Amino acid sequence: MIDDTLTANRIVEAADRLFYARGVQAVGMDAIRGEAGVSLKRIYSLFPSKDDLTVAVLHRRRDQWNAGIAASAENAETAREKLLAIFDFLDAWFREPDFHGCAFINVFGELSGGSEQVRQQARKQKQAFVDYVAQLVEDAGAPEELGPQIAILAEGAQTTAAILGGPEAAAQARAAAVTLLDSALERNASATAQQPG
């Protein structure tokens, strides 16, 4: 059917809402059927198991994250500004009323002893983010040690904002990133000044 994609989207969106609000294990397939307005048979014809549906939800989250990061980077000109734009994106996200953490971190905590597929999705997502930051750090002409440091700040801001509540962690992490960037670029500048070429 041509509307398989449409229906699949509706199911994934419904599952995402419920999973994020209540946790994966706490949501039954029946609740997803109700939220999506789609029969169980149809759900299982599109997603062979709850695990597959969970992975599809994580794919959706990944796409949303990537789109959000890309959008925040669009208004930035330099690599340095693109790096800091990550924290502006986080800031806006933390202010959303139903924010309570990164879905990948949450799902990793929930299913760490369970689905290997899900664990792998979380790992791939976080690794991709580390790679994105590393590329920007290289573009900015900063030493590569800076990459993981900024990625750690972004991760820490997410868990801190989730558990303590409130968006302050984004600005705090951003300020730390500014200090790290300034320090790294300064050190780099003086190092290249000493041995040019």
Partner DNA sequence: TACGATAGAGAACGAACGTTCTCTTGGCAA
Partner DNA sequence: TTGCCAAGAGAACGTTCGTTCTCTATCGTA
Q: Which residues bind DNA (CB under 7 A)?
A: 1, 25-31, 37-42, 44-45, 49-51
Question: In the complex, what is the shortest distance from the CB of residue 151 to a second copy, in angstroms, rounded to a whole number?
Answer: 7
> Does 136 engage in binding with a second copy (CB under 8 A)?
no
Q: Could you say which of 8, 57, 83, 173 contacts a second copy (CB under 8 A)? A: 173
3 state DSSP class of 143? coil
| Residue 189 in tokens | 């500048």
Question: In the complex, what is the shortest distance from the CB of residue 124 to a second copy, in angstroms, rounded to a whole number?
Answer: 10
Q: Could you say which of 7, 13, 17, 23 contacts a second copy (CB under 8 A)? A: 23
φ/ψ of 76, rounded to 5, equals: -100, 145
Instruction: With CA atoms as reference, report the closest residue to 156 among 179, 173, 180.
Output: 173
117 binds, among DNA, a second copy, none (CB under 5 to 8 A by kind): none
> Does 99 engage in binding with a second copy (CB under 8 A)?
no
Q: How many CB atoms lie within 10 A of CB 58?
A: 23
Q: Which residues contact 19 (CB under 8 A, 6 or more apart)?
A: 27, 54, 57, 103, 107
Tell me which H or E stretch contains 25: none
28 binds, among a second copy, DNA, none (CB under 5 to 8 A by kind): DNA
Question: In the complex, what is the shortest distance from the CB of residue 112 to a second copy, in angstroms, rounded to a whole number?
Answer: 5
Question: In the complex, what is the shortest distance from the CB of residue 65 to DNA, in angstroms, rounded to a whole number?
Answer: 24
One-letter amino acid identity for 65?
A: W
134 binds, among DNA, a second copy, none (CB under 5 to 8 A by kind): none
> Does 15 engage in binding with a second copy (CB under 8 A)?
no
Q: Could you say which of 4, 5, 6, 22 contacts a second copy (CB under 8 A)? A: 22
Tell me which H or E stretch contains 21: helix 4-22
| Residue 53 in tokens | 């549906």
Burial class (CB in 10 A: 0-12, 13-18, 19+), 138: middle
Q: Which residues bind a second copy (CB under 8 A)?
A: 21-23, 25-26, 100-101, 104-114, 122-123, 126-127, 130, 145, 148-149, 151-160, 162-165, 168-169, 172-173, 175-176, 179-180, 182-184
